[in-house]
Amino acid sequence: MTRKYFGTDGIRGTANREPMTAETALKVGMGVGAHFINGDRRHRVVIGKDTRLSGYMLEPALTAGFISMGMDVFLVGPLPTPAVAMLTRSLRADAGVMISASHNPYLDNGIKLFSGDGFKLSDEVEEEIERWMAGDMTGLLVPPENLGRARRIDDAVGRYIEHVKQTVPRGVRLDGLKIVVDCANGAAYRVAPEILWELGAEVIPVAVDPDGFNINEKCGSTHTDTMRSQVLAHGADLGIAFDGDADRVLMADANGNVIDGDQMMALIATHWADEGRLAGNGVVATVMSNLGLERYLEGRGLHLVRTPVGDRYVVEHMREHHFNLGGEQSGHIILGDHSTTGDGLIAALQVLSAIVVTGRTTGDACRVFDPLPQVLKNIRFKHGAPLQNARVKSAIADAENRLNGVGRLLIRKSGTEPLIRVMAEGEDAVLIEKIVDDLLEVIAETTG
């Protein structure tokens, strides 16, 4: 089935343009209701959102769709995506919805869906929902007496804060640590500074004044210069930067050096393996993770399993093969003992716990391995399938020959934006930079 709405991470697009319109959101609510309702009992759905202005348009539209199908709606307001997954399980809901376009600018928005167990929906379920949306669902509308109800969960923030704090090992506190926390003017703007402060840290909050337009604007995990500069300006021990819905995190050490998802996974894997807590004897990551991470884990007697890009595919492999640690270089870290999806706050706290327990400096602890030179660049295209072009295919083959078996080349279309992503890594930094630039030039010429 050709998917009209769902991409690699739910539905995403420009707000008030298809598919991110109130009309489509209404259909999503109805389609999800049609899929999940089974029997005469009351069915529930949790809806959360980030801080984008368009959330005020999509939230009531989704709510109306669910209510029309007889589902009760729990509204939790601005909270991180992993909080919605957690609350979906805690409230014994049938489904959860997060309204967010993650790291994208405020102009975009998205809809992420969770099943009752807190995990993202499978491709098969998303396709089934699309089939419902494509049909006439008026015959499924419940009679007036069976309409659902909506209510706000006033203590949702407190529930999530306590859940996150419980993931920190007993006896571990953050006393004496000065931490910059950049919340991207997004979903974590309330909970992240509060959690770090309650655990004893001196907190310097950054980008915690959302206005509907400034989410991810020159801040957060996609603009780490803000975090890095604040760490240096305040003489902080560490910086933490989330994306708009806080399922992604990047960090910086006391010298302002960025700590990416690969380094975080390496640190957590080492710490957990030493304590006998690492399940699966390894880590699940994507094809984007640095070859240096793979070599480091092998040197520790652990192994790295690679999946396609997307934290959903990482989670699926973790569940099927009983791993409890996985993630992406971009900062989606999944800690299976504590959450069902990427959780930036929990990941950051696991890194901090490892630092506290080992007593090492942040710079020393977080530089676990030396990454191979890696270059990733994007190019936007308007239409067509650039990767199917004969000239582009020939250029890719030539690039692989130039690497001569001592590096990696990965070229893929983004699942959320009209972008081609070109990545190369290897021992020779100059060579891989040239390879990527040459490929971008060919793609640009063939796409106009």
For residue 183, give the CATH number of its domain: 3.40.120.10
My answer on whether 123 and 16 are in the same domain is: yes
Is 216 a member of any domain? yes
My answer on whether 221 and 140 are in the same domain is: no
Secondary structure element (H or E) that encloses residue 356, with its range = helix 344-358
Is 6 a member of any domain? no
Q: For residue 410, what is the domain's CATH number? A: 3.30.310.50
What domain count does the chain have?
A: 4
Is 135 a member of any domain? yes
My answer on whether 22 and 119 are in the same domain is: yes
Domain boundary among 189, 223, 255: 255
- List the catalytic residue out of 54, 68, 100, 102: 102
Secondary structure element (H or E) that encloses residue 164, with its range = helix 156-165
Examine the pLDDT at 448 and tell me if it is beyond 90.
Answer: no
My answer on whether 279 and 229 are in the same domain is: no
My answer on whether 56 and 97 are in the same domain is: yes
Report pLDDT for 407.
85
Report pLDDT for 222.
94
My answer on whether 15 and 140 are in the same domain is: yes
Is 392 a member of any domain? yes
Examine the pLDDT at 447 and tell me if it is beyond 80.
Answer: no
The pLDDT of 331-336, averaged and rounded, is 97
Q: What is the pLDDT of residues 69-109, one digit of tens each?
A: 999 999 999 999 999 999 999 999 999 999 999 999 999 99
| 316: confidence class by pLDDT, cuts 50, 70, 90 | very high
Examine the pLDDT at 428 and tell me if it is beyond 70.
Answer: yes
pLDDT top residue among 56 and 361: 56
Is 182 a member of any domain? yes
Q: Which residue range is the domain that position 402 belongs to?
A: 374-447
My answer on whether 155 and 17 are in the same domain is: yes
My answer on whether 25 and 97 are in the same domain is: yes
Q: Is 102 a catalytic residue?
A: yes
Is 23 a member of any domain? yes
My answer on whether 295 and 319 are in the same domain is: yes
Distance between CA atoms of 347 and 249, rounded to whole angstroms?
Answer: 8
Q: What is the pLDDT of residues 145-203, one digit of tens each?
A: 999 999 999 999 999 999 999 999 999 999 999 999 999 999 999 999 999 999 999 99
Q: What is the pLDDT of residues 56-69, one digit of tens each?
A: 999 999 999 999 99
| 366: confidence class by pLDDT, cuts 50, 70, 90 | confident
Is 438 a member of any domain? yes
Domain boundary among 100, 128, 159: 159
Distance between CA atoms of 22 and 29, rounded to whole angstroms?
Answer: 11
46-78 b/e (C-beta count within 10 Å ≥ 16 → b): bbbbbbbebbebbbbbbbbbbbbbbbbbbbbbb
Examine the pLDDT at 286 and tell me if it is beyond 90.
Answer: yes
Name the average pLDDT for the chain: 94
3-class SS of residue 148: coil
Report pLDDT for 224.
98
3-class SS of residue 15: coil
Is 76 a member of any domain? yes
The answer to whether residues 11 and 108 touch, using CB atoms and an 8 Å cutoff, is no
Examine the pLDDT at 438 and tell me if it is beyond 80.
Answer: yes
My answer on whether 25 and 153 are in the same domain is: yes
The answer to whether residues 74 and 116 touch, using CB atoms and an 8 Å cutoff, is no
My answer on whether 390 and 406 are in the same domain is: yes
Measure Cα distances from 382 to 389, 408, 421, 441 in Å. 15, 27, 14, 16
My answer on whether 71 and 195 are in the same domain is: no
Domain boundary among 196, 221, 255: 255
